[in-house]
Each structure stands twice: as structure tokens, then as C-alpha cells.
């Protein structure tokens, strides 16, 4: 079974609008972490945001926020006020426990139009 | 955050040759991870490298093909051996600091 599922292969949004990228996960480990990364065409993986399973509040980093719904096992990324530079692939990932590997979803390609 | 310097950023190699990728971190870390991203695909873990011990490889990856060195707590290398066109991928190293995971810039390898 897939541990991380991203159901949106591609998303379109207009500049200055908000967009939500979906991510659901599957784990029986009570301690886990959820990550979002941005991958531009250059190939580097840019860390955006992290949510721990025991964190009480949803994580936020500037224009990025993570809508963490533990009961639903979802960890959607919300990008507010989209910019043209946000056009990239976005990957959701999960780590079970500490110092363990990341398991990645298949990614969502976001295109921001003027 | 961690600063991870990965070299080379890209290379074009002849089949049958080997390429060594270097990863330098500005902090001491216990574990370093090496991932592969094949064209149009997501990232897959190749192996986990601990300082002072042999790397642990994921299913489908073997030491003869992807030897890894971890001589100290800030440095690691991954070698892609006896390359074929199927090895054309982006290779990325990663470390975990303060629960967060950071990546190097990636090495875009093309085998011809």
C-alpha cells in the first residue's frame, strides 16, 4: 500500500490566489513527521515545511501552511498569494520515527499563471 | 537549517564508467541518506550511511553498484559504478537536523 498519496498530478492557479495541494498518508507508527518540498526544474529539493505527529498546532512558514488533519491522515499544503516563482513540482513525504528515511509521494506539478 | 554542498551538480558520462558524488555538510550529523530520482519519478532511497559502519542498502540497491563512503560526520560519497543509460537520474544526499530533513543541490547524471 502507498504510504504517501498525492492525487493531483497537476494544479493550476492564478497569481496572487491561494492553492491547496493534497497529501494523505498511511502509518501505524504514533510518532512520525510530514514534510513538503519544492523541486524547481533545477532539480534541487527545497524544504518548505514540517509537521510532527505530536505537534498541537498546524505548521506555518511564511506563505506556506500545512493543514494537518490527523484523524483523516491528511497533510495538505496551502500556498497563499501564489507567485510565478512558485511554479514547480511539490512533493509530500513522511518519516516514521526519528533518523529514518523519507518516503515520498508522486508529486504535484503546480503552474502559476499571470 | 543545514548547508549541504553536493558535487558535481551535473555530469555526462560514458557507459561502463563510474562517477563519485560528494556531499559535504556544515554540521556533524549521525546519518546521511542517498536518494535517486529517475526521470519523471519520485525519490527513492538508495542507502543510509552512518559514520564508522557500512551503509545500509534498500531493496534493489547493492553495494557493488553503489558503494558509499562515510569517513567522518560531515562528509559522504556515493559512487555509481559501471554505469548504463538506466542510471541516468538525479542523485541527492540528505541529512536530518532538529527533526527536519534537508537536501543537497542534487547531481543530474546523464549516461550516454
Is B43 close to A91, i.e. CB distance below 8 A? Answer: yes
- Burial status of residue B3 (CB atoms within 10 A of its CB: 0-12, 13-18, 19 or more): exposed
Testing the interface with A: which of B40, B98, B101, B102 to mutate, by most A Cβ within 10 A?
B101
**What tens digit of pLDDT does each residue of B58-93 get?**
999 999 999 999 999 999 999 999 999 999 999 999
What is the per-residue pLDDT for B99?
80
- Is A33 touching B (CB cutoff 8 A)? yes
Residue B37, φ and ψ in degrees, nearest 5: -130, 100
Other CB atoms within 10 A of residue A46 CB: 15
* Cβ atoms B66, B78 nearer than 8 A: yes
What is the per-residue pLDDT for A1?
64
Residues of B in contact with A94 (CB under 8 A): none
**What tens digit of pLDDT does each residue of B86-104 get?**
999 999 999 988 788 899 9
- CA–CA distance, A101 with B50 (Å, rounded to integer): 13
- Kindly tell me the sign of the dihedral angle through the C-alpha atoms of B8, B2, A89, B43: positive
Amino acid at each position: 500500500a502507498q504510504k504517501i498519496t498525492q492525487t493531483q498530478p497537476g494544479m493550476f492557479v492564478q497569481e496572487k490566489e491561494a492553492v491547496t495541494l493534497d497529501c494523505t498518508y498511511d502509518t501505524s507508527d504514533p510518532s512520525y513527521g510530514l514534510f513538503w518540498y519544492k523541486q524547481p526544474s533545477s532539480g534541487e529539493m527545497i524544504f518548505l515545511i514540517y509537521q510532527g505527529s505530536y505537534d498541537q498546532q498546524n505548521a506555518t512558514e511564511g506563505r506556506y501552511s500545512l493543514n494537518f488533519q490527523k484523524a483523516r491522515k491528511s497533510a495538505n499544503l496551502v500556498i497563499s498569494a501564489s507567485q510565478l516563482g512558485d511554479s514547480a513540482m511539490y512533493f509530500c513525504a513522511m518519516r516514521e520515527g526519528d533518523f529514518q528515511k523519507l518516503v515520498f509521494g508522486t508529486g504535484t506539478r503546480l503552474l502559476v499563471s499571470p | 537549517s543545514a548547508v549541504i554542498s553536493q558535487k558535481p551538480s551535473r555530469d555526462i558520462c560514458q557507459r561502463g564508467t563510474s562517477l563519485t558524488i560528494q556531499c559535504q555538510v556544515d554540521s556533524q550529523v549521525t546519518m546521511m541518506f542517498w536518494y535517486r530520482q529517475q526521470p519523471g519519478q519520485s525519490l527513492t532511497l538508495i542507502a543510509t550511511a552512518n559514520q564508522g559502519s557500512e551503509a545500509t542498502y534498500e531493496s534493489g540497491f547493492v553495494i557493488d553498484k553503489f558503494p558509499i563512503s562515510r569517513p567522518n560526520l560531515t562528509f559522504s560519497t556515493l559512487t555509481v559504478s559501471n554505469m548504463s543509460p538506466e542510471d541516468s537520474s538525479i542523485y541527492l544526499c540528505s541529512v536530518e537536523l532538529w527533526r527536519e530533513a534537508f537536501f543537497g543541490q542534487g547531481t543530474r547524471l546523464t549516461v550516454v
